[in-house]
Amino acid sequence: MPQAKKQKTAPAPVVAMTSQADLTGLSPAPLDNFEQALQNETKATEEIMQAAVAGSQNVFFGNRLCPFAQRVFWMATERGAMGGFTYAHVDLSMGGVPVEKSSGGGTYKRDINPGGTVPCIWYEGKPVRGSVTCALFMDELHRGSGDMPALIPEDDAMAAAIVRNGVDLVESLVDLLYGLLSTRDPSEQDVLKAKLTEAVAKLEAHYVDNAQADGPYLLGERISLAEVCLTPLVYRFAATLPFYREFSAFEHAPRVQAAAAAAASRPAFQETKPANQLVCDYQNDFANGQRAKPLPCGSVHA
């Protein structure tokens, strides 16, 4: 029996954007600072990578700057699961994680994750890849620990479908958010702003269509995988797009904002988020640095 009680007429909450990094007063620091600030993290050394593959250590390969890695780090923290994992920080500076750049001779892409991306989990000598799969893995591995419900309801097929559709709508934002942040071509920016507005409106409509009076999430008071996927993105891009591209992607999406704000207030989200200055510096690499797209032909820049 579907759990979702439809209350389409419920008023949209007006929420402060407490789910976003606050870049007010910040200006980007030199571009290598964002990784330097993470120097104290345990690195993905050759030794740790070998232990992961051999199955002698369970390892979570992550990076605090990455919204996808935060999904998993956050979920593992909610479940109290990080105690069973070595946290291994993968350096994303200088354009990613090329083989030759990984610590200790470089096996991250070859042996750990051929895609070269974080997050990635190695558990009992086997890999789990992709942030959604990794978050669900942490959820399923330690189901019942912590006060977070199962990320996808197990006893209600319609509620589960609502969550999965929500996740798809969140994932449809990813390329647009990064595309807008990294393009310096004003006409491409305009196109991406229009596409983002449309994609965020579809997500907002999904929240409105399924709105329940008892809470801010897609499933009312029950947080789900949709918010675990959404919130690390809102936390970063709701702050950085106005800062770098004068565009507020979530401005007209009060229900999406409310869901992200509620999720971001959870202690485990707070514990796993990067500091505001790091968000500012890391995203500057996309907006103006090595990860930015080339300046358009004929543009004049100081």
Ligand X SMILES: N[C@@H](CCC(=O)N[C@@H](CS)C(=O)NCC(=O)O)C(=O)O
Min separation Cβ 123 and ligand X, Å: 16
Task: Give least dist CB 280 to ligand X, A.
Answer: 15
Which residue number is nearest to ligand X in terms of Cβ?
96
Does 272 bind ligand X (CB under 6 A)? Our answer is no
Residues 13-72 that bind ligand X (CB under 6 A): 66, 68
Show the binding pattern over residues 86-125: x = contacts ligand X (CB under 6 A), - = does not: ------x---xx------------------xxxx------
Q: Is 131 in the site for ligand X (CB under 6 A)?
A: yes
Tell me whether residue 97 or residue 258 sits nearer to ligand X (CB atom): 97
Per residue, the 3-state secondary structure of the chain, as one string, reads CCCCCCCCCCCCCCCCCCCCCCCCCCCCCCCCHHHHCCCCCCECCHHHHHHHHHCCCCEEEECCCCHHHHHHHHHHHHCCCHHHCEEEECCCCCCCCCHHHCHHHCCHHHHHCCCCCCCEEEECCEEEECHHHHHHHHHHHCCCCCCCCCCCCCCCHHHHHHHHHHHHHHHHHHHHHHHHHHCCCHHHHHHHHHHHHHHHHHHHHHHHHCCCCCCCECEECECCHHHHHHHHHHHHHHHHHHHHHCCCCCCCCHHHHHHHHHHHCCHHHHHHCCCHHHHHHHHHHHHCCCCCCCCCCCCCCC
Q: Which is nearer to ligand X, 96 or 215 (CB)?
A: 96
Looking at beta carbons only, is 57 or 113 nearer to ligand X?
A: 113
* Angle 66-233-179 from CA coordinates, rounded to 5°: 85
Nearer to ligand X, 68 or 247 (CB): 68
| Min dist. Cβ of residue 128 to ligand X (A) | 10
139 or 220: CB nearest ligand X:
139
Interface residue with ligand X among 130, 149, 179, 242 (CB under 6 A) is 130
C-beta closer to ligand X: residue 115 or 296: 115
Largest CA distance in the chain: 62
- Cβ-defined contacts of 146-150 (< 8 Å, 24+): 146/78, 146/79, 146/80, 146/268, 147/78, 148/75, 148/78, 148/79, 148/223, 148/268, 149/222, 149/223, 149/224
**Least Cβ distance, residue 297 to ligand X (angstroms):** 26
Closer of 204 and 285 to ligand X (Cβ): 285
Residue 77 binds ligand X, judged by CB under 6 A: no
Is 7 or 33 the residue whose CB approaches ligand X more closely?
33
Please state the closest distance from residue 291 (CB atom) to ligand X, in A: 8
Minimum CB–partner distance for residue 63 and ligand X (Å)? 6
Nearest approach in angstroms of CB 189 to ligand X is 21
Smallest distance from the beta carbon of 68 to ligand X, in angstroms?
4
Q: By rule CB under 6 A, what count of residues binds ligand X?
A: 11
Residues found near ligand X in the complex (CB under 6 A): 66, 68, 92, 96-97, 116-119, 130-131
